[in-house]
Amino acid sequence: MKFGVVVFPGSNCDQDCFHAIDKVLKQPVRYVWHKELDLSGLDAVVLPGGFSYGDYLRTGAIARFSPIMQAVGRHAQEGKLVLGICNGFQILLEAGLLPGAMLRNRSLRFVCRYVHLRAENAQTAFTNKYAPGQVLRIPVAHGEGNYTIDPEGLGELKKNNQIIFRYCDAQGALGNGANPNGSVDNIAGICNAQGNVLGMMPHPERSSEACMGSTDGLGVFQSVLAGRR
């Protein structure tokens, strides 16, 4: 399986994602510069975390207009896989590839720490290696991770099982105290209706090896490799 990791001006997790795919997953991967227009030959594309274009205006608002996003849109329309992590999730929202928007964290502070997530849908191309309801320990690092969507949109996400991860405590219980940014319904990650585009604020690439303190994020990449949808 061939992966591509998109690099925007300001990306800072591109090398982390590349390492997880190349050295840990041991799969072919290449960097994709944001001005490229051709993703042919790639099975999965990763939009990494960071501060694309310095996060001026809104997070992801400028990167959304990078030439590569035209190719990412076509890639998704063809049913191929797209994973947006942190800033990558924000870019997918701005590009309209996922519904909703991001606000500043409820605390108005940057949050950088390990959190717990609950796998809400273990039947996707990104989660088939997890058990339903499995609690994961994966880090977050963001200042604008407060996911919001109108009640009608939230209803659609629930109806279509598009809520993939929710913030929870170590026992898997949801609650305001387990929510690091104020996201509606404790949402940490969602997919599109077709199930081939995932956006998540936590960083699975930063929890893919034991030396990082957790290997819980590796399941995201292993699920993609398994190719079951």
Whether 209 is catalytic is no
Query: Burial of 24 by CB count in 10 Å (0-12 exposed, 13-18 middle, 19+ buried)?
Result: middle
**Alpha-carbon span 119 to 116, nearest angstrom:** 10
Residue from 17, 86, 168, 191 carrying the catalytic annotation: 86
> What one-letter code names the amino acid at 158?
K
Strands 187-191 and 29-33: unpaired
Residue from 94, 120, 144, 205 carrying the catalytic annotation: 205
Whether 156 is catalytic is no
Closest residue by Cα to residue 21 from 157, 189, 224, 212: 224
Tokens 């310095």 — which residue?
54
Tokens 């105290």 — which residue?
177
98: left (phi over 0), alpha (psi -120 to 50) or beta: beta
Residue from 34, 75, 142, 203 carrying the catalytic annotation: 203
Active site residues: 86, 203, 205
